[in-house]
Amino acid sequence: MKRLEVKQLDISYGKKQIVFDVDFSLEESQIGCLLGPSGCGKTTALRAIAGFEKPTKGEIVLNGQKLNGSKTFVEPEKRHIGMVFQDIALFPHLSVVDNLQFGIRSWPRPQRDKRSGELLELVSMSQFEKTFPHELSGGQQQRIALARAIAPKPSLLLMDEPFSSLDVELREQLAREVRLILKQEKMSAILVTHDQDEAFAMGDYICVMHQGRVQQTDTAYNLYHNPANRFVGEFIGEGALLPGVIADTDTITTDLGEITGHLMESFKHGDTVDVLIRPENVIVAGANDNQAVITARYFRGSGYLYTLKTSGGAELLCLIPGSGGLQIDQSIGVRLQIDLPVVFKRPSPGTF
């Protein structure tokens, strides 16, 4: 049995529909991510799962139990779903330990104390038991908020942009830490975020949303290397789109020569397409190869990321390790190295 199933979910605010036909599911102790730009409907979907929004259509099933329907609606406090918020929302009038025990206040005292002690240790904050929230740093507060949410051992944990109020350096570190804690507790969880690094660090799988619809649900690797559509291709990772024309069943002609590889059958000879080129696909070659001009360069630690302009005017990104001997306005020869080309049909001008 799946831990959570969301089936064909529609949600509207008044007349405005926010979420369209969203479908995904979560296995036991799996961590799923809803990833997308702000306003894509991911938070609304999360609130519906928690019971703070009523879906207009579709089903939410937790542990085999239907949570919403025309007659039955399980109230949020009865769903046994934990939540962690962007603005942390610790209760300022309660100490750390009282915050932790808030959700388990009906447990007998010894169990309660044991559980909060356990959790404080799990989030490495045992010495802060008696502290009040405002005396903690942002990262510490969010750790306590996480512990508070998982204290009652909910069947599902929902996290709404939990790291976005924290400093950038702290985010990924905490995301990895939280993942370990959740795995240790065997917690099933859904993370909502607009930051793909966070999603990659946390999620077992990621569901990319845009304009209220699910674009692709997959592992981070597949989202990067095999995006289902143009939006996912551009949203995930770095890269550029290189225009080309289908020359054969397995060949595309571009400014930088021919690209070969398996293509979907729906492409016909003469179709105009865009090929997704990741920075690592671009290799510096000799003077005999196709030429491109360097227009910008950015230091990236292990090397430099260059922006190139092809003779046809298309822009590409290219990552070259090393100390970076190439200068702006210099012309270099480049070659493309692609095993499985990602190709999108170019929309005719009227449709996009």
Positions touching another protein (CB under 8 A) are 50, 52, 75-83, 85-89, 91-93, 102-103, 106, 145, 148-149, 152, 158
CB count, 10 Å around CB of 281?
Answer: 24
CB of 239 to another protein, least distance (A): 34
- 18 or 81: whose CB is closer to another protein? 81
- 18 or 147: whose CB is closer to another protein? 147
- 43 or 254: whose CB is closer to another protein? 43
Amino acid at 43: T
How far does Cα 11 stand from its chain's mean position? Answer: 21
- 35 or 159: whose CB is closer to another protein? 159
CB of 306 to another protein, least distance (A): 35
- 152 or 233: whose CB is closer to another protein? 152
CB of 115 to another protein, least distance (A): 13
Which long-range contacts link 256-261 to residues 24+ away (Cβ below 8 Å)?
256/290, 256/292, 256/310, 256/316, 256/334, 256/335, 256/336, 257/289, 257/290, 257/335, 257/336, 259/336, 259/338, 259/341, 260/341, 261/338, 261/339, 261/340, 261/341
For 335, counting Cβ atoms within 10 Å of its Cβ (0-12 exposed, 13-18 middle, 19+ buried), the class is middle
CB of 149 to another protein, least distance (A): 8
CA-to-CA distance for 57 and 338, rounded, in angstroms?
Answer: 43
CB of 269 to another protein, least distance (A): 56
Residue count of the chain: 352
